[in-house]
Structures are given as C-alpha cells and as structure tokens.
Amino acid sequence: MGAVVGTLTMQIKQRRPSTDTADDDMEMTMASHRPEGLNQLEAQTNFSKGELQVLYRGFKNECPSGIVNEETFKQIYSQFFPHGDASTYAHYLFNAFDTAHSGSIKFEEFVAALSILLKGSVTEKLQWTFNLYDINRDGYISKDEMTDIVRAIYDMMGKYTYPVLKTDAPKQHVDAFFQKMDKNRDGVVTLDEFILSCQEDENIMRSLELFENVI
C-alpha cells in the first residue's frame, strides 16, 4: 500500500492552504481543464476545503493544464525511486487513478483516489487496491495479474534493497499470497476473498493505518 500513495502528495503536503476560497475557485477556472468547485469536491470526498486548496495548488504546480497524462505521471513518480524502474508500476497506478479511462487524470479523479487512500475506511482502501491489481477489470485477480503488479513493485524498489532480494522473490511472494487469498482454490481471487485475507493479515492492516494522518 505504501507505494500506492507515494507520488504527488509529497510535495503537496508541504504547501499551506490559502485562506481565500474565492482565489482558488478563480484559479480553477483558468486551467485548461476546469475542475468541480471546492464545495462540490468537499461533499464528494473526505477532505476539507483547506485540504482541497492545498491539494489543488500542488496539483496545478505539477500539472498547469489541470490534467496529467501517463508520461508526465511516470516522470513525476519515477523521481521518488531513483534506484529502480518505476515505469511499469506507475502505468498500473495511473490506470487505477484514471477511472474514466480517458488517458489522463483530472484533479477530481486525483482527489477521489487520495480521499479513499488517506481517509477512507479499511474496506474502501482494500477495494481500491483490489481494483489496482485487477488489471483487466474483470472483477477477479489472477495469479498472472498479481505477478505483474508484484514484479513491477520489485523493479521499482531497485537492486539496492537490504537484504538483497533473490531473482525469484516476486514469484515466491505471489505464490504465498495467492495460496492464502484463493480460499476456494478456483485459480482467481475475488473481492471478498481479497478483503477477508487482508483483514486477517496484521502487517497489511498496519500499513493501512499509516495513511490516516498523512495530510
């Protein structure tokens, strides 16, 4: 879960919210893509107006047009993993943020995802993560899909991890998790199986708690 949030929020968190809501609404109208107003976004997410102002200013700083395409997303994300190759994982993460499947991420999609990951319930966070792993959007996670995601995470972390990872570590990781999650042994993991297995894993639950007070 830690790799899910990583990117744009790191610079965003350091910015102070503006006290002038009108100025932020005016700035929103000047971008190439005009996002929904602060009042509407506040109603649709778990963020306050002040938090939304901070998020928008950071998003606009990185993406002046008001939207971010996949190539830009990869470039931003890769900055946080200089010793590895984050491009493949960033591709999967981009698709999870791009809920409209438009080839770009709008501010509304960005804050909707962060609202879940940072302030959502445990079930909401796990549902979002399930969708990340469900690459082909068929409602199931196959072993191949899980392997693709896990291998992308290992590639992103790079060769300089300690202790040094074995080349077959991704496969071993997936085999162990799949054995635990595929409750009925039908070769795929359903959303219910995924949520139940994660809730039974103390390490996963602790990782979810880390995001509760990020912003």
Domains, the chain: 47-119 (1.10.238.10), 121-214 (1.10.238.10)
pLDDT above 90 coverage of the chain, percent: 55
Name beta bridge partners: 69: 104
Q: Which DSSP letter does residue 199 get?
A: H
What pLDDT score was predicted for residue 22? Answer: 47
pLDDT-based confidence at residue 194 (cuts at 50, 70, 90): very high
| pTM of the predicted structure, to 2 decimals | 0.78
What pLDDT score was predicted for residue 192? Answer: 97
Mutual angle of helices 191-199 and 169-181, in 10-degree steps:
100
Residue 8 has pLDDT above 60, yes or no: no
DSSP conformation letters of 161-197? -SSPPPTTHHHHHHHHHHHHH-TT-SSEE-HHHHHHH
Tokens of 42: 């506040």
Cα-Cα-Cα-Cα torsion 200, 201, 207, 209, nearest 10 degrees, comes to: 30
What pLDDT score was predicted for residue 170? Answer: 84
Residue 127 has pLDDT above 50, yes or no: yes
What pLDDT score was predicted for residue 166? Answer: 63
pLDDT, tens digit, for every residue of 54-93? 999 999 888 888 899 999 999 988 988 888 999 999 999 9
pLDDT, tens digit, for every residue of 18-31? 445 444 444 444 44
Mean pLDDT of the chain: 81
Residue 11 has pLDDT above 90, yes or no: no
Q: Tokens 């070769």 identify what position?
A: 187
- Residue that wins the pLDDT comparison between 28 and 37: 37
pLDDT-based confidence at residue 6 (cuts at 50, 70, 90): very low
pLDDT, tens digit, for every residue of 134-156? 999 999 999 999 999 999 988 88
pLDDT, tens digit, for every residue of 93-103? 999 999 999 99
